[in-house]
Amino acid sequence: MSINTPLGDTLGGFLDNLLVGKSALSRWKKIDVSRCYSKVGADLSDYDVDAKLRRLEGLLPPEIWKRARKLISKSPWTTKLTILMSLDAYMDAQIAPGTIDMDSVAAIVAGHNINFNHQYENRIQYVEEPDYMDSLLALTGLDTDHAGCVSDALGIRGPIYTVGAACASGNTALRCAIDELRYHDVEMAIVVGAVLDFSPVELHAMALMGAITFQSFNDDPEQACRPYDTAREGFVPAHGGGAMVLETLASAKKRGARIYAEILGVEAGSDANHLPQPSEDGQARVMKKLLDKCGIAPEQIDYINAHATSTPLGDLTELRSIKRVFGDHAYKLKLNATKSMLGHTCWAAPVVETIASVLQMRAGKLHPSINIANLDPEVDLDICRGTTAVDWPVKMLMKNSFGFGGINCVSILARYED
């Protein structure tokens, strides 16, 4: 696994900051939000790409590092981060050269319209002077360039593609990776939750829709994302991404790989409604379908990493669907809201938050859900409210993700038992 958020670009640092309840939110630094209603987000725009690349020299096989350096020198900002996260995940997977047939490795990038700001800036440049645009925009502006760069850097020769499912993209990509492993002779798949490069246009459009916070917290950004609190008013857009290496058990055992967790299943469904109106029926249906498909009783789930975006309707809809599916056991579960610290990393959120969930499972501790000054009276489940971590053994967890367009996708992961 690998991670890159304002709370850290290493797994250990990321977990440590989650467990102490640190907020990643601030005012946007390099996005021109002077004409936007919303001014806050989790910002990675000052991330030192060159310093990170230098740290990787000597840790990666020389031919991979050289290819990555060349690719990064010519790529847009968010594509650079995609390449770096794939390199980190490759190293974390401890893949020795020659141990994996790269014809049987897939790369799947979760997200769509990823390079929003790169496109926006080039359109401005086109108006000012067309010949000074990025001469490679016809390539670098495409989402598929992310997958192509991962393939190029790591020498992957199996299937590569992108998957777009709004804020459920990461879980949908995970589902595709499982299909590649099960049905298409793939031994290994890397799933990258790409960092969404917001432009002022998208930020303002989301504010006009009423989807993101802008009324109360522009001058107090760390408090802006507050799932389950009565003052929540919309999600907080965030930079952040991650990558996971999935592998068949046979392949992992053959090369003595470290196994973080076992993926038991991923299921998806939709609400037959393109508007951003979360559906209790749709969410409950997918959760129940997944439990049934995996042959898992609701009582076997110990923890749910909630979608919990800090929207007035979304937070309660998800809790209602959980109570419908889990019945009395819902009151024995623990839930938490990673977005309370990170904000909403959108297309990458299921990947980022699955990594957070697996790290918590292995640590036996759950991070707090912060910024809940006044708990919504309808919230009667244990959502780890507070500022300190909670000791909680987790053998099996559920990760919920729900996207604009009525897209629902849910996964279940378990502690790996050899």
CA angle in degrees (0–180, nearest 5) for 222-235-124: 95
What type of residue is 315?
D
Residue 97 has pLDDT above 90, yes or no: no
pLDDT for 98 beyond 90: no
CA–CA separation, 263 vs 220, rounded Å? 38
- The fraction of the chain above a pLDDT of 90, given in percent, is 98
Average pLDDT over residues 134-145: 95
Give me the catalytic one of 36, 149, 167, 384.
Answer: 167
* H-type alpha helices, 210-348: 249-254, 280-294, 312-326, 339-342
**H helix intervals, 39-76:** 49-56, 62-74
In tens, the pLDDT along 253-264 reads 999 999 999 999
Is-catalytic flag, 344? yes
Task: Specify whether the CB–CB gap between 225 and 314 falls below 8 A.
Answer: no
**In terms of Cα–Cα distance, which of 193, 229, 412 is closest to 315?**
229
Q: How high is the mean pLDDT of the chain?
A: 97
User: Between 62-74 and 49-56, two packed helices, what is the crossing angle to 10 degrees?
Assistant: 170
Tokens for 171, please give them: 């879980």
Domains recognised in the chain with CATH numbers: 2-254 (3.40.47.10), 262-414 (3.40.47.10)
- The pLDDT of residue 83 is 98
Q: Which of 344, 367, 384, 409 is catalytic?
A: 344
- Of 307, 346, 367, 384, the active-site residue reads 307
- Mean local confidence (pLDDT), 148-172: 98
Over 90: is that where the pLDDT of 274 sits?
yes
**pLDDT tens-digit map of 46-59:** 999 999 999 999 99
What are the tokens at 22?
């640190």
- Residue 164: its pLDDT value, please? 97
Instruction: Give the model's pLDDT for residue 317.
Output: 98
What is residue 168's predicted lDDT score, i.e. its pLDDT?
98
Establish whether 112 is a catalytic residue.
no
What CA–CA distances, in Å, run from 411 to 178, 246, 289, 305, 396?
11, 14, 11, 10, 11
Nearest to 191 by CA among 106, 263, 254: 106
Question: Is there a catalytic annotation at residue 384?
Answer: no
Express each pLDDT in 336-370 by its tens digit: 999 999 999 999 999 999 999 999 999 999 999 99
| pLDDT score, position 96 | 87
Which DSSP symbol is given to 165? B
* Contact call for residues 256 and 363 (beta carbons, < 8 A): no
pLDDT digits over 177-211, tens only? 999 999 999 999 999 999 999 999 999 999 999 99
Is 90 exceeded by the pLDDT of residue 240? yes
Q: What angle do CA 195, 352, 267 make, to 5 degrees?
A: 110
Q: Among 355, 406, 371, which residue's Cα sits nearest to residue 89?
A: 355
Give the rounded percent of residues in the chain with a pLDDT score beyond 70. 100
Residue 417 has pLDDT above 90, yes or no: no
